[in-house]
Every structure is written in C-alpha cells, then in structure tokens.
Amino acid sequence: MREMNLEQNIIHSVLTDDLSRAKSLLEQGEFPLLAELMDRAHEKALPLSHLKSEAPDFVVFFPAYTCGVGCKMCCTGFSSSTQLYEDYLYMSPDQFDSCMPWVQNSSYVIFCGLGETLESPHMIRFLEKIQDKISIIYTSGVPLTREKIRDLIRAELKILTFSFDGKAPLGHGAGNPDYIRKFWQKIDWVQQLKSEMNSIFPKITLNITVSQDNQDELSEIIGTAQQHGIQEIMIDPMTSFDQHNFEKTIFADFESSKNKINPILDRWNSEGLDVTQTGFAKSFLDSSSCPYVDNWLTLIGTGPSTIKAGVCEGLLEIPQPLRSFDNQEDWNSFPIRYLRYMHFCASEKSRPMHCQNCILTNLKNYADLSIARNSSEENTEHNPLAEYRLASRLKAEKKWEEARQGFLKALENNHDFALTGKTCFHLGEIELSRKDYKEARKYFELAVQYYYDHGLAFAYLYFLFMLDPPSQMPPRRDKFDASRLVSTLYDKYLAMNS
C-alpha cells in the first residue's frame, strides 16, 4: 500500500470497509468523534453495500504532460507553458503496467491529453499491450508524421480522434490558414496509408471545441470533415477559467448559442453523420443520466510514482486516500457506492454540485454558474474565505456557538464549492460534538455534495449511514449504457469496411 499518514490510513480503512484496521488505528486517540461513532455503529450493516459494481468498461489514460501547440483556450496550463511538471513529462511504462488489471477488465482504453498525447514516447508500447481492446487516441495531429501513422497502424490502434476548431483564434492553431491546411492534409495521410497498408484501422473521428468564435463556422467544419471521410464528430464546449476569455465561450450567452448549434447538429445527423456533444447526446440539451458514472475510470499521473484516479470526465474528484485505485475495494469503496446511490436511487438535487452543474449533462446550470462566477460585481463587505478562517479559529478555541454562527455566515453568497463543502464539514463536527447526529448528517451530506474530495466527511457519513440507513431503498435506476452506444458505432464501421 502507498505511504499514507494516520488520518489517510484511517479514512482509507473506513471507506473500503476494513473496520477492524480502522478500529485499531482509531485507538491512538486522535479522532475521538469518529471513534465514538464507530463504537455506536458496531455490528450494524455496512452502508450501501448492495451498490457494488463490476469493473469499469472505459479506462482512460493521460500519457503525456507536455504540449507545444499553445492553444489560448487551454485551461490546463499549456497556453503559457509547454509542460505541467518540471521533472515528469510522460506516464512511464511501469505506471501503465501497474494499471493493467483495470485494462484487462475493460473493453475500451482511451488515451487523451492533459497535454498532446502523441508526444509520449511510449504510445506504441502501450498500444501493443492492448491490441485486443478498442483503443482510442485523442490528438491535435501536430506531432503526426507519415512514419508515426504507420506505427499506429502496425500497433493496431482502433480509433484516432483529431481535435480541431476551425478558424477560432483561441483554438488549435489559432485559426492560422497554414495550420488548417496541414491539419486536413494529415487526415488525408491517415486515409492514404490505411489503404496502402491494407488496414481499416484506425477509424478517424473529429472533436470540435465550439465557442462564440466558431459556432457560425460549425456546419462548414462538419461538411469539410465529411469530405475527408469522417463520419463521427463530437462537439465539446470551450471552457475558460480566465475571465477575459469567458465572453468567448458559448456559456456567456448560452440560449443564443444553443439555438444556433442544435439545428446544425440536427441537420447533419439527419444526413447520416453521427454528431454528438460530449455527453453522448445529439443536441445541447440537459440529461438526467450521466454517461460516465459506473462506466469510467480515469488514471492520471501526478509524478514518477503517483497516479490519481477519477470516476467521471468532469471535475468531480474522489477522496485523496482512494485516488490511486489500487484494487476492486477502491472501485467499490463507500464514496463510489454513495455516488451510485445519488445517481441511481436518489433525486437529482442531492447529487454532487459538480454533477448538478456539469458541462456534459447540465449545460444550462453550468452556464448560469459560469456567469455568476465571472460577474464583475464584487461584494466587498462579505468575504466568505475571511469568515471561514475566523470561524475555524473560534472552533479551534472550542467557542462552538460563535464558530457555528461564523460558518453559517461564510455560506452566504458563496460560489466556491470547495469552501462551501469545508464549511459544512465544520458545522457537521460541531453538531457531532453536541451529539445531534441528525443535524450532523445533514451537514456532512452537504459537505460531500459540495466537496466530494473530503475524505473525513465521508468517514463520518459512513458511520451515520450505518446508524440510520435509508428506511426504504427505492429501486435502482439503470445506468447509462455508454458501452452499447460506442460498440454500435464501432460495429457499424466494421460492417461498412469489411
């Protein structure tokens, strides 16, 4: 097991149902509130144990942490840099091999980039290990040469997805005519070399990041893609964490952009192309069903010996002690069971805030939140972070009621999900100290709703669920069948090209 401190070890033991080890660790006396809850829950049923699941069908790797394209829209950091880490450029073969148990149980292995995927020197080696899987690479196409294409064909890459945004000045190539010409030329190279090498693979698909700058050009881009033999296109809304670029996103005027984009998607889908937005929908409409929950495991290197895991394609993060996802116990840990409960058994309003405002399934909410966060209006009289820090100091001094009032004030007009979640966590601990378990549970549920990465909040919630499980579990709703959608398109391609 990777090195963890005492708190992380306790949290990991609790959340993976290793309660005997958690009890032993808690005997050191550093977490009395948690130890008391554990004693109260002794021999009660494990929480949400019926929501365990088989291994994910999609395993996603981020093999490269470098990029020289310099897209101004990039929210990863490559708009002003060519690498994320000083001494860590690529996921190593050993790191990839450590994840092979997940790969072996999956159907699809996706390589996409925090950087440019094809800058990884290990890509061919990775592909050669998974020739029995449907492998997918996302690339800008910039590093692609004829020899690299031949290597990808020999390694039996199944799907090659190019990212291209037309003439958008913030997108790939910044709208440079020479970049655009070379981009379509490389698409043609792939088609030509497939023919020369008598291979139907890789299938070529296209990803378009849509913004205010290229939404009127969208139909033209799709038409050009069709002329180059592309039949599958995914539309990805541009995001921006830079207030100066926010006005260029479709979320600055979402209803207007949606009314322009949806007819374009309708038109091309009616003409036989498969054009979807990132959430697998064929139009920019909200969905009540997430296509990634219970389907998706993302594995991202954060250093030469560390890998962070995620369970969606959005911003939702799982508690720190579970991020490495060593085994099936992590995949079926309490936070993941709880996420399934929120999506498959509970109401949409109880889901994590990142889900309720997801760029993939709740576009209108995402737009409204983006506008609120990018508003130029500032309330100089109310600073949630300052209120939070003052209340935290009062809590450390055991001035419970003053701290409680301070934390409640910090919740007012606050759009920072992480800060809200941490604030609710402290309110939950105050209620625990008062032995008000019903009120404590309410705040811990809010804590993880706003800040899903809060492992200690989940540990408290674990035992509170044991003490007071749902009285009547509603029938589980079916999860989104993303695998069927992808395999249908894949089978269609095979039938047309065999």
Residue 285 lies in a domain: yes
Pairing status of strand 134-139 against strand 108-111:
parallel
pLDDT higher than threshold 80 for residue 80: no
pLDDT higher than threshold 50 for residue 63: yes
pLDDT top residue among 287 and 98:
98
pLDDT higher than threshold 90 for residue 352: yes
**Residue 10 confidence (pLDDT):** 96
Average of per-residue pLDDT across 54-77? 85
Domain boundary among 292, 323, 344: 292
Average of per-residue pLDDT across 312-316? 86
Residue 312 lies in a domain: no
Flag the least confident range among 25-34, 66-75, 282-291, 307-316.
66-75
For residues 141 and 203, give the distance between their C-alpha atoms in angstroms, rounded to a whole number.
14
What order do you get walking across the sheet with 108-111 strand by strand?
274-277, 232-237, 203-210, 159-163, 134-139, 108-111, 58-62, 296-303, 306-310
Structurally, the chain folds into a number of domains equal to 2
pLDDT higher than threshold 60 for residue 376: no
pLDDT higher than threshold 70 for residue 2: no
Residue 139 lies in a domain: yes
Residues 76 and 189 in one domain: yes
**Residue 239 confidence (pLDDT):** 85
Residue 48 lies in a domain: no
**Residue 241 confidence (pLDDT):** 64
146 backbone dihedrals φ, ψ, rounded to 5°: -60, -40
Residue 298 lies in a domain: no
pLDDT tier, 212 (very low <50, low <70, confident <90, very high otherwise) = very high
CATH number at residue 411: 1.25.40.10
Residues whose CB is less than 8 angstroms from the CB of residue 429 and which lie 6 or more positions away in sequence, other chains included: 33, 395, 440, 460
pLDDT top residue among 413 and 311:
311
pLDDT single digits (tens) 473-482: 778 888 999 9
pLDDT higher than threshold 90 for residue 326: no
**Residue 449 confidence (pLDDT):** 97
pLDDT higher than threshold 60 for residue 140: yes
**Residue 263 confidence (pLDDT):** 96
pLDDT top residue among 117 and 246:
117
pLDDT higher than threshold 90 for residue 211: yes
**Residue 256 confidence (pLDDT):** 95
pLDDT higher than threshold 60 for residue 96: yes
What is the pTM (predicted TM-score) of this model? 0.92
Average of per-residue pLDDT across 464-485? 88
Count of all residues that appear for the chain in the document: 498
Instruction: Round the average pLDDT of the chain to a whole number and report it.
Output: 92
Residues 285 and 399 in one domain: no
For residues 140 and 176, give the distance between their C-alpha atoms in angstroms, rounded to a whole number.
14
Average of per-residue pLDDT across 324-349? 93
CATH number at residue 271: 3.20.20.70
State the angle between helix axes of 146-154 and 177-196 in degrees (0 to 180), rounded to the nearest 10: 40
Residue 469 lies in a domain: no
Domain boundary among 292, 307, 332: 292
Residues 87 and 188 in one domain: yes
Residue 429 lies in a domain: yes
pLDDT top residue among 279 and 132:
132
Per-residue DSSP letter, 477: P
**Residue 77 confidence (pLDDT):** 66
Pairing status of strand 306-310 against strand 296-303:
antiparallel
Domain boundary among 292, 312, 341: 292
Residues 207 and 64 in one domain: yes
pLDDT tier, 425 (very low <50, low <70, confident <90, very high otherwise) = very high
Average of per-residue pLDDT across 143-167? 97
Chain-centroid distance of CA 475 in Å reads 26
Percent of the chain with pLDDT over 70: 97
pLDDT tier, 337 (very low <50, low <70, confident <90, very high otherwise) = very high
pLDDT tier, 4 (very low <50, low <70, confident <90, very high otherwise) = confident
Residue 156 lies in a domain: yes
Domain enclosing residue 219, as ranges? 58-292
pLDDT higher than threshold 60 for residue 183: yes
**Residue 84 confidence (pLDDT):** 83
User: Could you give the residue ranges of the DSSP H alpha helices within 290-416?
Assistant: 328-331, 334-344, 353-356, 363-373, 384-396, 400-410
Chain-centroid distance of CA 482 in Å reads 15
**Residue 1 confidence (pLDDT):** 42
Average of per-residue pLDDT across 358-371? 88
